[in-house]
Amino acid sequence: MRIDAADEATIELHLQRSLVAPVAIEVWTREESALVRNDRDPCTHCDDVIEIAKQMATLHPLITITLYDIDKHADRAAESEIIQAPLTVFRAKGKELRFSGLWAGPMLPVIIDVITFASTGSSPITMESRDTLNDLPGPVTVELLVAPHDPYSIYMARLVMAMGVESRNVHVRVTDVAQFPLMAAARSISEVPVLLLNEKRFLGTWEEVDLVVQLTLVAIGDDTLVIRDRTAVSPFVTEVQALAAAEAQITRAQPPSVAPGALGGGSGFVLPRR
């Protein structure tokens, strides 16, 4: 899987204008055996992530890529608590952001922003939020479970990644759980996005201000829940289910077939689809 030429040119121009400090990309994959396992999701998109990461590294000299195999580099993987593949780690200015899954399609603009935020060390969040995050008294692990078909997931992925750039105490990992059906089932995912702050689970979207307040409360060990004025979710479907639904929709949209010559006249030849 590759970024097409038009998008590649646009991304390259954006990166050339935006990056100021090196961004190291680590891609963790694994070679799947011929045996089907039921204890973990297969690394369906490992090769795709490697290819797109390599392509990204060609677009700017400040972007570097290192490839790791979870099994071949087991000690390093265990030390870094990496158990799932594919997983991409973005490192810059002493910050680390993680994404599990294939970062293509609707998720690609988010990752471009992540690379830009990490390189510049800043994001579009407000100065007040930035100051609060920098003053957090302790670490908060932020895990976000998303699906690429869901616009709320895309919004939340960009928001939490931005917060991870702003504070060393905010440790962010985003997972496209649609690519990991066994994980989704084990964690009872029926709607997305799902946010976990130090394992405390929250469903749906957050406004920036409310999320900063909740992060602060979690950091100080306060169990108070921030009351949100509104929140939004989408039904969760796996990648396989989403692809099947898309194919069914395309099939329904096709005009009914007509036998050659049934309309009268003409040669009976059918033009090939373009």
For residues 67 and 162, membership in a common domain is answered with: no
Give the residue from 87, 121, 155 where a domain finishes: 121
Domain range enclosing 246: 125-252
Predicted confidence (pLDDT) at residue 52 exceeds the cutoff of 60: yes
**Closest C-alpha to 215, from 232, 202, 204:** 202
Name the pTM for this structure.
0.88
- 270 falls within a domain: no
- 272 falls within a domain: no
- Residues 176-191 have a mean pLDDT of 96
pLDDT in the model for residue 257 = 52
39 CB-contact burial (10 Å; exposed 0-12 / middle 13-18 / buried 19+): exposed
Kind and range of the H or E element at 100?
A: strand 95-100
Query: How many CB atoms sit inside 10 A of residue 87's CB?
Result: 25
**Closest C-alpha to 60, from 24, 88, 26, 99:** 24
The total number of structural domains in the chain stands at 2
- 178 falls within a domain: yes
For residues 111 and 171, membership in a common domain is answered with: no
- 273 falls within a domain: no
Say which CATH number the domain at 96 has.
3.40.30.10
| Residue 133: strand, helix, or coil | helix
- 1 falls within a domain: yes
For the chain, percent of residues with pLDDT exceeding 90: 82
- 260 falls within a domain: no
pLDDT in the model for residue 264 = 41
Question: Residues 82-123: pLDDT tens digits?
Answer: 999 999 999 999 999 999 999 999 999 999 999 999 999 999
Task: Kindly report the average pLDDT of the chain as a whole number.
Answer: 90
Question: Residues 142-171: pLDDT tens digits?
Answer: 999 999 999 999 999 999 999 999 999 999
